[in-house]
A and B are shown apart, each in its own frame.
Chain A
């Protein structure tokens, strides 16, 4: 019954791995190659993307209402468990790489009220610390309510050539609004339009995506999110 085995091409191998038909050493080898060879890894992803819609033929069915509380509880456990270390590393990294940012922010906080001795506070100053999964880029955005301005200071941010980092505000409705392209080194001040003011609230998300030079051509994010964080009152 032995038939001559024709070895698969790299693209066939990527397809086989994505479909899940490999086993044993073949599968291990293919998975190892995925880690070592970015082009192969992209081919596997592309195959996953081609095949996944097969699953959409299955009729939808609402899960029981008891399921969400279970998920919510499991996430609480995950946050208290292994993920805490990651968070602490992020904080430590931020503390090391952005001491200058912290110093200037502190100056703002101390000087702000003195310079503007208004009868009522101008509203809360807020910050968002934008961190990626792998802590490769860290960025701090400080919201200056009185100037309607975000001061954005990247600590480390590598940007491919011919691309620009673009900052987005994602309020509770989930629709990203562009705040414009920022510099990948040095500070950028972004004054926002008055009508966007109500969207700048604690809990809103700021995110950075990699866009073609000059910013997203569509007005919506088109590139990968390299960092995101939630705004919180200082």
Chain B
């Protein structure tokens, strides 16, 4: 598949997912099923990764789509891509769940992140892939420890204090790692 075809496929998929969310906002249950069929495998993967618990991930995914049902009207296609909006809800719900469970020692995340997902992508996931690659390229430019701290915060829902303890550095150091890392990331993404 050449780049232009992929891009058209991604644009089309983005438009369709956006339209499906508008129908969900109009309380169309079939539209929610449509959104579910297009996105649940990707979102379930995210819930599993963050919760590290299969039963928990199922409960979280249920909450995610109930939230989508209630909040679809607040989705603004000008400010967010639909798949990113959905992924953010999944991550936030999963982190809430994890915090409510009490924290267990999180596994290092490197292994999961190095795994490239080589299976052919459904059209709507082309958007996800395009966005993932852009961010991954910029994350690679960061200092390794800054990148590690940002990844662990993202996937394990760790706060500054927890990150400082787990990575064994003073709190102030952790704050400056994350801030510097995030600002460099922004430069790279916005100018890339």
Minimum Cβ distance to chain B for residue A206 (Å):
8
A88 within 8 A of B: no
Within 8 A of B (CB), among A16-55: 16, 19-23, 42, 45-55
A67 within 8 A of B: yes
Roughly how many angstroms separate A4 CA and B18 CA in the complex, as a whole number? 46
B159–A21 touching, CB < 8 Å: yes
B113–A57 touching, CB < 8 Å: yes
Q: Which of chain B's residues have a CB closer than 8 A to the CB of A22?
A: 159-160
Roughly how many angstroms separate A202 CA and B80 CA in the complex, as a whole number? 30
Q: Contacts A51-B154, A71-B36 hold; do A58 and B49 have CB atoms under 8 A apart?
A: yes
A175–B151 touching, CB < 8 Å: no
B73–A133 touching, CB < 8 Å: yes
A229–B172 touching, CB < 8 Å: no
Q: A67 is contacted by which of B25, B58, B75, B95 (Cβ under 8 Å)?
A: B58
B19–A170 touching, CB < 8 Å: yes
A83–B125 touching, CB < 8 Å: no
Roughly how many angstroms separate A56 CA and B42 CA in the complex, as a whole number? 7
Binary contact readout A174-193 vs B (1 if CB under 8 angstroms, 0 otherwise): 11100000000000000000
Roughly how many angstroms separate A221 CA and B36 CA in the complex, as a whole number? 22
Roughly how many angstroms separate A97 CA and B36 CA in the complex, as a whole number? 36
Q: Which of chain B's residues have a CB closer than 8 A to the CB of A51?
A: 135, 154
A228–B23 touching, CB < 8 Å: yes
